[in-house]
Chains A and B, each alone.
Chain A
Amino acid sequence: DAKTTQPTSMDCAEGRAANLPCNHSTISGNEYVYWYRQIHSQGPQYIIHGLKNNETNEMASLIITEDRKSSTLILPHATLRDTAVYYCIVRVGSSGAGSYQLTFGKGTKLSVIP
């Protein structure tokens, strides 16, 4: 599996954009970048994923550098409910339908401050 590196913690003012970086310098060509978050003691929640192009959905935007060695998750207008641990994951390539693992690191603890 390609490894990821994330800052341990970050703060963000409520209403401002939260930019969470992730380094994945050993990513291979067929590996996707996934982002999940975990609020309190709940199960992780999927946010977004991408391969090469930038992606946007109702929750966030994902910016992947051209060399694919790093990415940034952007929460455009952070709210207090966005306080969570955010995980950046690089998915192992598949050898068949549904055949891949999800390996989580320690993530970034984002604190949104009023």
Chain B
Amino acid sequence: IAGITQAPTSQILAAGRRMTLRCTQDMRHNAMYWYRQDLGLGLRLIHYSNTAGTTGKGEVPDGYSVSRANTDDFPLTLASAVPSQTSVYFCASTARVGTEAFFGQGTRLTVV
């Protein structure tokens, strides 16, 4: 079934460790996004990519990096995790202007 897949589903991570959240879509969508969701704050955009080879900063980019080497994959890296990065992370993709966004099932990350 075509869609967007995130891995892992959940993770407990020691503070200071490096972690990469994976996101893969098989719909050949141009744009991809990473959001974090915290209680009472809604969804906040971390980074986005309009097309392979380009990335941009969202609302809360600090402490995160992304890459877009190809159309399908958009990994999110925490270079040195901190407890404030405990959150649920959602990856999304859109085909082009005016089309709907598809979201992954989310990754629940706990930094201790």
Contacts and interface: CB of A to CB of B under 8 A. Distances in A.
Interface of A: 32, 34, 36, 38, 41-46, 49, 85, 87, 94, 96-107
Interface string B88-112: 1010101111101111111010000
B44 interface: yes
20 contacts: A34-B100, A38-B43, A43-B103, A43-B104, A45-B103, A49-B100, A85-B42, A87-B43, A98-B29, A98-B30, A98-B94, A98-B97, A99-B50, A99-B51, A100-B31, A101-B33, A102-B94, A103-B45, A104-B45, A106-B41
Q: How large is the interface on B (under 10, 10 to 19, 20 to 34, 35 or more residues)?
A: 20 to 34
Contacts of A87: 42-43
Interface in B25-59: 29-31, 33, 35, 40-45, 48, 50-51, 56, 58-59
A105 B43 CA distance: 7
Nearest to B97: A94
Nearest to B43: A104
For the complex of A and B, list the 10 residue pairs with the smallest distance between their C-beta atoms, beginning with the closest. A98-B30, A43-B103, A46-B100, A104-B43, A106-B42, A98-B31, A94-B97, A99-B50, A98-B96, A44-B103
Interface in B47-80: 48, 50-51, 56, 58-59
Interface of B: 29-31, 33, 35, 40-45, 48, 50-51, 56, 58-59, 88, 90, 92, 94-98, 100-106, 108
